[in-house]
Amino acid sequence: MSADSRADLAVVGGGIVGLACAWRAARTGLRVEVVERGEPGRGATHAAAGILAPDTEAEPGAATLAALGRRSLELWPAFAEDLERESGREVGFARCGTLVVALDRDELDVVRREHDVLARMGLEAQLLSGSECRKLEPGLAPVCAGGLLAAHEAQVDPRRVVAALVDALVAAGGVLRTDAEAVGLVREGDGVRGVVLADGSRVAAERVLLAGGAWSGRNGLAPVPLPVRPVKGQVVRLRAPADELPAERMIRSEHVYVVPRASGEVVVGATTEERGFDTAVTAGGVLELLREAYRALPEIAELELVEVTAGLRPGSPDNGPLLGETGVDGLLVASGHYRNGILLTPVTAEAIEALVAGTPPPEAVEPFSPRRFA
Ligand SMILES: Cc1cc2nc3c(=O)[nH]c(=O)nc-3n(C[C@H](O)[C@H](O)[C@H](O)COP(=O)(O)OP(=O)(O)OC[C@H]3O[C@@H](n4cnc5c(N)ncnc54)[C@H](O)[C@@H]3O)c2cc1C
């Protein structure tokens, strides 16, 4: 049994969300302890492509979520800069832009509709012809019929972000306990004052933040409903020589996205599957991803196949995150970020930092109170 400890904030879950909230809180001088049942960053964060695309990923009618994403994208450059300075590690933030491409007439209709929806929501994207797309990205298939350019969108490398967060958290005086599964909460009256770990030890804390990703609803820790479910995503990693990337920008078609990184890594993603906690990678999943990526960028057939991964996105009933006070004294949540958890990390950390400090969280976060599902 490990020793009991005491903190101002105990964080359950060492994915990108829990680590970022912990780091920001530790920088304010609070004693922060993260408990992670395995290794940090091996949940959904490990699979994620790192696309920071609030506009081209926006769903029709989800204006509040797009606004939250935009706010977070605005925060990303300073967040990455602080993190790189405090950890001494690079995180791969790059404002490379997204090009959404149509590979036939039907897809072109979809892209045009997407452009109209974005314009109505006041979001930025420029409609291009097929030849304009190919001028920007010569590796695109000649069938490219048109596209939508969002030059302001960006990417980051989630695995590098996790490595940097771990170091920055420790540098700020925070504690990360690995192989430490939270199995219960320390209750005091109606409130929560810490977590109980599987080995029987306790982290006593003024506040607890639940950031357990897709497992947040399953842990049985929260005394209030947390309707978070796993949504499986398979993703393929390829490698290109760094000076021979198949594209400069992130390329998205109706069925696939391709994210080229300066390091030579090329991420092709992602399936969306409702299969509970299953994380098997399947021949069908890989076939679909590579076929669709090849339709858009034929050169990818030449690249080295490095890895196939499946991760579990933390889905919520309205696809928006659950951020903030749960209604139980001392218990906060940051989960349900679904397909935008990397994008939403800075705004989530800002909101939790504000709540812990007793100052108002950013306005864009208000619609995402976990209490909307009570
Ligand atoms: C294939 C795929 C591609 C994606 N691409 C993108 C993208 O391009 N851009 C984007 O913005 N988002 C993307 N996402 C979504 C993003 O990955 C998630 O929203 C984000 O990683 C969620 O982070 P998290 O920290 O909440 O969860 P996780 O990364 O899953 O971390 C949760 C952690 O909590 C731990 N935990 C759970 N329960 C306990 C417990 N009881 N005790 C201790 N520890 C516990 C787990 O072990 C895990 O490490 C993608 C997701 C997938 C699957």
Q: 198 and 256 in one domain?
A: no
Which residues on adjacent β-strands are paired with residue 154?
52
Q: Report pLDDT for 47.
A: 98
Residue from 36, 68, 257, 271 whose mutation best tests the ligand 1 pocket (most atoms within 8 A of CB):
36
pLDDT given for residue 225 in this prediction: 85
Measured from the Cβ of residue 221, the count of other Cβ atoms closer than 10 Å reads 22
Q: How far is the CA of 48 from the centre of ligand 1 (A)?
A: 8
Do 303 and 251 share a structural domain?
yes
Q: Name the pairing type of β-strands 98-102 and 265-269.
A: unpaired
Task: Verify that 107 and 243 share a domain, yes or no.
Answer: no
Question: Would strands 154-155 and 51-52 be described as parallel, antiparallel, or unpaired?
Answer: antiparallel
Mutate to test the pocket of ligand 1, among 19, 24, 45, 177 (most ligand atoms within 8 A of CB): 45
| Structural domain that includes position 359 | 5-54+159-228+318-373
Are 239 and 304 in a shared domain?
yes
168 and 298 in a single domain? The answer is no
Instruction: Find the helix packing angle between 345-357 and 63-87, rounded to 10°.
Output: 80
* Regions in the chain scoring below 50 on pLDDT: none
Q: Which one of 313, 319, 322, 344 would you pick to mutate in the ligand 1 pocket, going by the greatest count of ligand atoms within 8 A of its CB?
A: 313
Domain assignment present for residue 285? The answer is: yes
Letter for the amino acid at 207? R
- 191 domain residue, yes or no: yes
Taking only the tens place, the pLDDT of each residue in 105-133 is: 999 999 999 898 888 877 778 999 999 99
pLDDT at 1: 66
Can you give the pLDDT at residue 192?
Answer: 96
What distance in angstroms lies between residue 116's CA and the mean position of ligand 1's atoms?
32
* Domain count of the fold of the chain: 3
Looking up residue 47, the CATH number of its domain turns out to be 3.50.50.60
- Structure tokens given for 348: 């989530």
292: domain CATH number is 3.30.9.10
Cα separation, 146 vs 153, in Å, equals 19
Residues 234 and 304 in one domain: yes
Which of 295, 315, 335 terminates a domain? The answer is 315
Q: What is the pLDDT of residue 204?
A: 97
Same domain as 119, residue 234: no
Ligand 1: distance of its center to the CA of 11 in Å? Answer: 14
Ligand 1: lining residues by beta carbon, under 6 Å? 12-18, 35-38, 42-45, 47-51, 181-182, 211-215, 219, 233, 235, 269-270, 311, 313-314, 335, 337-343
Cis peptide before 270 (omega within 30 of 0): yes
User: Which of 17, 256, 309 for mutating ligand 1's site (highest number of atoms within 8 Å of CB)?
Assistant: 17
Q: Are residues 222 and 238 in the same domain?
A: no
Q: Give distance in angstroms: CA of 12 to centre of ligand 1.
A: 12
CA of 15 to the centre of ligand 1 (A): 6
Residues 283 and 359 in one domain: no
**Do 237 and 255 fall within a single domain?**
yes
Question: What is the per-residue pLDDT for 145?
Answer: 96
Task: Check whether residue 323 and residue 302 sit in a common domain.
Answer: no
CB 288 within 8 A of CB 231: no
Question: Which of 151, 184, 213 is at the close of a domain?
Answer: 151
Does one domain contain both 275 and 353? no
Q: How far is the CA of 49 from the centre of ligand 1 (A)?
A: 12
